[in-house]
Amino acid sequence: MILLSRIKDNWFDKLEQKGFVSRHACPKDRRVTYDLLTYEGNTLWKKYFQSMNKKFKVLDQLEMETMILSLKKVGLE
């Protein structure tokens, strides 16, 4: 779990450097950091979501359900 946490932290550091997220320490618990999308990050997320939506529209209902079940089976819910 520590490795995944470091990967997430590095990934969020890069997003913060590019201005897509802002990070704020919790005033009550120094172990907690709040990561928030900036306006630029939200715009990028919307474009990404629309792009992925277009890609998956080619799947029919059965193909979509099969893919979801397969991803759940390998632990990618």
pTM of the complete model beyond 0.75: no
pLDDT score recorded for residue 1: 46
CA geometry: angle 50, 19, 24, nearest 5 deg = 110
pLDDT of amino acid 31: 85
| Mean pLDDT taken over the chain | 88
Fold of 2-73: Arc Repressor Mutant, subunit A (1.10.10)
Overall average pLDDT of the 9-19 stretch: 90
- What's the rounded Cα separation, in Å, for the pair 15 and 26? 19
9 pLDDT more than 90: no
Could you give the percent of the chain with pLDDT greater than 90? 61
CA distances to 34, 49, 53, 62, 71 from 66, in Å = 35, 21, 17, 6, 9
Give the start-to-end residue ranges of the domains of the chain.
2-73
